[in-house]
């Protein structure tokens, strides 16, 4: 089923995917799986009805579904034995169950009706409990029980298949990461404003947004993990996990963001990443003439196309193994991912990393580019109002506003607010941890009872203000000012 789901994810137009992400947030996969479960239940019912009308018609429906599943699995970039066996097994089981249920049904309908002696006397007397109910109910319960057994066996099988992920979880929990040769610069005093209702300056791992096309989290064993550097290089390289951990690691705070983040949205997070600079590895490999892109590939075949220049300039683009002091969580790319300051995740932040192919934009494309998203994805300067939180009552007097602003790799120089489209008023900008992270800001406003529209605008350290004109997230990131309405009560 995840094979079918993956193919659905691959096939849906970006607009539909945007909609799904918007409606279901990061729970879109769960929604997709639930939707497919419902669709499968409907299909099963259809198969039952058809089989009742015409023999083998229901079997055919299930078989076709199995073949569709198989085709979907084979169409995926990464095919495993399990993935091929599952749709066949599912279809086979489905047909067997249907056959058995049909034979039970025939038994019931052809069972001879039992003689019911009419009560000899008074009509007013209630009829005795029908003896017919007994055996029929028993048959029904048998069928139900049989169904439950099949479901349980299926469930056990699924759990067994998930065992791989559990094993990797275990390995991760025992893994000790090296300390950084170059630790992160200390967080400046006052960088965290601690306003009530504001997100923490560093996002805890369990709260960190998650976006990827993987329906089941890839289980990658660090002991067998290898990163290959291929393509337009003087020397191809194969790097194993132990060798990577022995490299001089650096630790840096970097705020990463999704291109699907709406203005004011929460598909953005700030973490302390531990890793080895990508530029060091690329320098070892020696990119050759004409190369201008690195196509990074994940264990599950997903790819991102990143400008070579961004991975070789002075920014701290990392081959990351640690997130906020622990190994990467499985869903954030364990054991190794990329983190690139200044680029949206879809063109840079490959999780479950397995390959860096040095190539050219003219020759290769990342996963999302042919699906309606821009080839290049620099993060757009943006800002967000977090306080006062929507839905919290606001009383007249001094009202504290606060939020975040970001322009990774460039940095933020100022944040301003305006009320009802009036003059822009400067907010207090907290020191950022670095130019690669978001900055917190706050600004008290004195408000009398009434309705207000509040907007925020950030300007980067080159003096360029964020774009006012509203645009959608596709193809290269949303623009416009985050705007909130506040109802001030007396
Ligand atoms: N393997 C893989 N890596 C991926 C993706 C993906 O679909 N598959 N999605 C990217 C996108 S679009 C984003 S925004 C970031 C999100 O990283 P996070 O889930 O750790 O927040 O991962 C990137 N890395
Ligand atoms: Mo993304």
- Domain segments of the chain: what residues? 2-115+132-162, 205-371, 382-489
pTM here is 0.76
Bridging pattern class, strands 394-395 and 483-489: parallel
CA of residue 344 to ligand 2 center, whole Å:
6
Tokens, residue 41: 């239940």
Four-CA torsion 286, 288, 293, 299, nearest 10 degrees? -50
Tell me which residues have their CB closer than 6 angstroms to ligand 1: 208-214, 258, 298, 300, 302, 332, 345-346, 349-352
Per-residue pLDDT of 125-144, as tens digits, reads: 444 444 455 567 677 677 77
Locate 240 and state its tokens. 């194993």
pLDDT score for 152: 72
Residue 209 alpha carbon to ligand 2 centre in Å: 10
CATH 1.10.620.20 fits 205-371, yes or no: no
DSSP 293-316: EEEEEETTS-EEEEEHHHHHSSS-
CA-closest residue to ligand 1 atom 21: 210
pLDDT in the model for residue 140: 61
| 422-471: pLDDT as tens digits | 999 999 999 999 999 999 999 999 999 999 999 999 999 999 999 999 99
Quote the pLDDT of residue 376.
98
The hierarchical CATH code for the domain 382-489 is 2.60.40.650
Beta bridge partners of 387: 402
The interaxial angle of helices 2-11 and 57-75, nearest 10 deg, is 60
Q: 423, exposed or middle or buried, with CB in 10 Å at 0-12, 13-18, 19+? A: exposed
Tell me the residue ranges of DSSP E strands in 77-198.
Answer: none
Separation of CA 475 and ligand 2 centre (Å) = 12
Q: How far is the CA of 343 from the centre of ligand 1 (A)?
A: 12
Percent of the chain with pLDDT over 90: 65
Burial class, 41, CB count within 10 angstroms (exposed 0-12 / middle 13-18 / buried 19+):
exposed
Q: Which ligand is nearest to the CA of 332?
A: 1
Q: Which atom of ligand 1 is nearest to the CA of 332?
A: 20
Q: Are 378 and 403 in contact (CB under 8 A)?
A: no
Residue identifier of the C-alpha nearest atom 5 of ligand 1: 212
| Helix 28-53 / helix 14-24 crossing angle, nearest 10 deg | 110
Ligand nearest to the CA of 367: 1
Ligand nearest to the CA of 333: 1
* Ligand sitting nearest the alpha carbon of 306: 1
pLDDT the model gives residue 412: 98
CB 285 within 8 A of CB 234: yes
Which residues does the chain have with pLDDT short of 70? 1-45, 47-48, 58-59, 61-95, 97-98, 101, 105-135, 137, 140, 154, 156-162
Pairing state between β 268-277 and 439-447: unpaired
The predicted pLDDT at position 380 comes to 98
Choosing from 211, 270, 348, 475 the residue with most ligand 1 atoms within 8 A of its CB, the one to mutate for a pocket test is: 211
Please report the pLDDT score of residue 123 as a whole number: 41
Element (DSSP H or E) covering residue 251: strand 250-257
Integer angstrom CA distances of residue 40 from 69, 86, 94, 405:
12, 15, 11, 45
Rounded Cα distance between 381 and 465, Å, is 8
SS3 186: coil
pLDDT at 87: 58
Tell how far the Cα of 351 is from the centroid of ligand 1, in angstroms.
6
| pLDDT value of position 2 | 46
């Amino acid at each position: 089923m995840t094979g079918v789901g993956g193919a659905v994810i691959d096939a849906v137009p970006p607009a539909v995917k945007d909609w799904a992400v918007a409606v279901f947030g990061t729970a879109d996969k769960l929604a997709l799986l639930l939707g497919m479960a419902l669709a499968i239940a409907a299909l099963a019912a259809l198969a039952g009805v058809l089989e009742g009308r015409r023999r083998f018609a229901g079997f055919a429906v299930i078989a076709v579904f199995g073949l569709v599943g198989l085709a979907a699995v084979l169409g995926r970039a990464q095919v495993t034995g399990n993935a091929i066996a599952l749709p066949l097994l599912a279809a086979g089981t489905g047909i067997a169950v249907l056959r058995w249920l049909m034979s039970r049904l025939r038994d019931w309908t052809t069972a001879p009706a039992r003689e019911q002696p009419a009560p000899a006397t008074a009509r007013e007397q209630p009829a005795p409990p029908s003896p017919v109910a007994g055996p029929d109910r028993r048959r029904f319960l048998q069928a139900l029980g049989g169904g439950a057994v099949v479901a349980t066996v299926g469930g056990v099988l699924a759990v067994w298949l998930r065992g791989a992920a559990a094993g990797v979880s275990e390995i991760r929990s025992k893994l000790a990461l090296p300390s950084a040769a170059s630790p992160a610069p200390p967080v400046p005093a006052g960088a965290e404003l601690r306003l009530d209702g504001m997100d923490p300056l560093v996002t805890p791992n369990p709260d960190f947004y998650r976006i990827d096309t993987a329906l089941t989290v890839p289980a990658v064993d660090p002991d067998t993990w290898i990163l290959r550097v291929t393509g337009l290089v003087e020397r191809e390289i194969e790097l194993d996990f132990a060798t990577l951990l022995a490299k001089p690691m650096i630790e840096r705070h970097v705020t990463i963001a999704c291109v699907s983040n709406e203005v004011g949205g929460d598909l953005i997070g700030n973490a302390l990443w531990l890793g080895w600079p990508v530029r060091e590895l690329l320098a070892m490999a020696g990119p050759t003439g004409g190369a201008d892109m690195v196509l990074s590939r994940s264990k599950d075949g997903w790819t991102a196309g990143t400008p070579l220049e961004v991975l070789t300039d002075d920014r701290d683009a990392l081959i990351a193994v640690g997130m906020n002091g622990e190994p990467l969580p499985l869903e954030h790319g364990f054991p190794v991912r990329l983190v690139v300051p200044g680029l949206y995740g879809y063109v840079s932040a490959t999780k479950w990393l397995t390959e860096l192919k040095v190539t050219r934009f003219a020759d290769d494309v990342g996963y999302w580019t042919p699906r309606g998203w821009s080839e290049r994805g620099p993060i757009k300067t943006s800002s967000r109002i977090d306080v006062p939180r929507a839905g919290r009552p606001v009383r007249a007097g001094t009202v504290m506003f606060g939020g975040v602003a970001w322009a990774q790799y460039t940095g933020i120089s100022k944040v301003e607010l305006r009320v009802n489209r009036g003059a822009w008023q400067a907010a207090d900008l907290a020191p950022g941890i670095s130019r690669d992270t978001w900055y917190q800001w706050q600004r008290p406003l004195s408000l009398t009872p009434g309705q207000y529209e509040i907007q925020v605008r950030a300007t980067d350290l080159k003096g360029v203000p964020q774009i006012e004109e509203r645009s959608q997230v596709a193809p290269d990131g949303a623009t416009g000012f985050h705007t909130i309405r506040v109802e001030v009560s007396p």
